[in-house]
Chain A
């Protein structure tokens, strides 16, 4: 099974430069607001050569590399770009799988495409042409997804690196062990044992690797030897509905946002396809002033229809801070199901006694006048002022 891997290294960084093409080729770092600090999450090679690495703060990064340009991620544009590229690849092959662990990486199974292209390399080149050159994509062809990904990683921008089935083990033997799709601590353990390349791992007896690292180790050993039977699985087709609402003025208050959402939901559920349906999952994205964006994937505990969906979203957005005034919101509904009805319990079948905690609270209220139990809620978890982050509110079920 020959697989093409198409990779866009630093995908989030590349997308962030789409609106600012003048920065392309500069010393770029991608920062993300986390709590009260902005941390670096990705860097270009130029910035890395100056000692800037993911995980440090922007202040540290600028101290190391004063000419670095700090960009903020644009999650909505990343999702849009990734789905556009996936759609283009799917027009050429039905077997396209986005890498679950790495944004900007796709696998295409070449089985059955031999008649359409002269060679696997020619096919990979055609796939590569579907991705705009500004992303500097690269491709790798190899038997198996892992080897194809390593080949793509070693390829030059816009080029294809092909590895024949006979040479795959030899090719992988010199690759760094960090290519393995394993958690960072497992890779660190490998390195502490002196295993720097995939060849080092492949030369060990399989049983000993499995005894030390369990099934993960055995899988890693197989991958290091070029044994990768994992098939390319296309994502299941799910029915989605998407609508966008332009706000009349940039929304700065949560109430205004919820009013917009209510309007959007009413509009969506008035469509004949959604009438009488409920949703289990949604993707809410917002375009923020100055070209920024925000995105949140929400999975609901139970399906909601138009009547209660806004409340369910509002509950989940209680502690969310938007990075600026919202210009437009897009709601994508997924997991559409038929309306579910709940049979109310008949009064005579209700328990005679309240649950123990409720009964205890009732007794405490009688004694002290109000419930002395509290629950901790997040109020402004992003706040730089510690006492603003959490609060106690009366627990009064």
Chain B
């Protein structure tokens, strides 16, 4: 982390970090079974954890179901299903 240089923050130059990235995924009964990474199908070995985030219902509702998954090649990923749009995204939590 860079120390604050005490220059005023400029909100017009604010950029979020860790934005969700759209994901190609194969789903079975609402659960991820394989990810498509670099056009290659990577099967899901196990779902290690899952949790739901519901927030900001008073303006633009956020409703996500996160999955911490282990692929058969040993990689771990955190992905989520946007329950308002139905899309899937990858995002470190």
Q: Which among B4, B15, B53 is the interface contact of A392 at CB below 8 angstroms?
A: B15
Determine if B9 and A388 form an interchain contact, defined as CB atoms under 8 angstroms apart.
no
Q: Which of A42-50, A103-111, A258-266, A369-377 contacts B (4 or more CB under 8 A)?
A: A369-377
Contact bitstring B22-33, A, C-beta under 8 A = 1, else 0: 000000000000
Q: How far is the CB of A321 from the nearest CB of chain B, in Å?
A: 14
Q: Within 8 Å of chain B (Cβ to Cβ): is A117?
A: no
Q: How many residues from B make CB contacts under 8 Å with A?
A: 22
Find out whether the CB atom of A315 lies under 8 angstroms from the CB atom of B91: no
Scan residues 129-188 of chain A and give those whose CB is less than 8 A from a CB of chain B: none
Min CB distance, B92 to chain A, in Å?
7
- Contact call A387/B7, Cβ cutoff below 8 A: no
The B-contacting residues of A in range 223-252, CB under 8 angstroms, are none
CB proximity to A under 8 Å, residues B42-76: 53, 55, 62
In the complex formed, the residue of B with least CB distance to A373 is: B2
Asked whether A387 and B6 contact (CB < 8 A) given A393-B13, A394-B13, the answer is no
Q: Are B9 and A397 touching (Cβ within 8 A)?
A: no
Q: Nearest-CB distance from A141 to chain B (Å)?
A: 48
Known: A385-B53, A385-B55. A390 touches B18 (CB 8 A): yes
Please indicate the chain B residues that have their CB under 8 angstroms from the CB of A389 in the complex.
17-18
Is B85's CB within 8 Å of the partner chain A? no
- Residues of chain A within 8 A (CB-CB) of B62 are 385
User: For the complex, what is the distance from the CA of A343 to the CA of B93, rounded to whole Å?
Assistant: 48
- Interchain CB contact under 8 A, B20 and A315: no
Within the assembled complex, what's the spacing in Å between the Cα atoms of A97 and B18?
Answer: 47
Q: Is A23 an interface residue when CB atoms closer than 8 A count as contact?
A: no
Give Cα distance in the complex from A158 to B5, angstroms. 54
CB of B1 closer than 8 Å to a CB of A: yes
Q: Is the CB of B2 within 8 A of A387?
A: no
Tell me, rounded to whole Å, the shortest Cβ–Cβ distance linking B16 to chain A. 5
Chain B minimum-CB-distance residue to A370: B13
User: Measured between C-beta atoms, what is the minimum distance from B36 to chain A in Å?
Assistant: 22
CA distance A377 to B91 in the complex (A): 19
CB neighbours (8 Å) of B17 from chain A are 376, 387, 389-392
Determine the chain A residues whose CB is within 8 A of the CB of B91 once the complex forms.
386-387
State A385–B80 Cα separation when bound (angstroms).
11
B37 at the interface (CB under 8 A from A): no
Contacts A391-B14, A392-B17 given; does A377 touch B5 at CB 8 Å? no
Q: Evaluate whether A395 and B2 lie within 8 angstroms (CB atoms) in the complex, with A384-B53, A385-B53 already known.
A: yes
Answer whether A397 and B92 are a contact pair too, CB < 8 Å, given A376-B17, A390-B18, A391-B16: no
Contact check, A377 vs B16: say whether CB atoms are below 8 A apart.
no
Hey, which chain B residues are within 8 Å of A386, CB to CB?
18, 91-93
Q: Is the CB of B14 within 8 A of A388?
A: no
Which of B6, B14, B16 is in CB contact (< 8 Å) with A315?
Answer: B6
Find the residue from A315, A384, A386, A397 having the highest chain B CB count within 10 A: A386
Contact assessment for A377 and B9 in the assembled complex, using a CB-CB cutoff below 8 Å:
yes
| B39 contacts A by Cβ under 8 Å | no
**Distance from A304 Cβ to chain B, minimum over Cβ atoms (Å):** 12
Q: Pick from B1, B13, B18: contact of A387, CB below 8 A.
A: B18
A375-B5, A397-B7 are known contacts; what are 8 more A-B pairs with Cβ within 8 Å? A374-B15, A377-B4, A384-B55, A386-B18, A387-B18, A391-B14, A391-B15, A393-B14
Q: Which 3 A-B pairs have the closest CB atoms?
A: A394-B13, A375-B2, A392-B15
User: What are 14 A-B contacts defined by CB distance under 8 Å?
Assistant: A374-B15, A379-B14, A385-B55, A386-B18, A387-B20, A390-B18, A391-B16, A391-B17, A393-B13, A394-B10, A394-B13, A395-B2, A396-B10, A397-B5
Which residues on B are within 8 Å of A, measured CB to CB? 1-2, 4-7, 9-10, 13-20, 53, 55, 62, 91-93
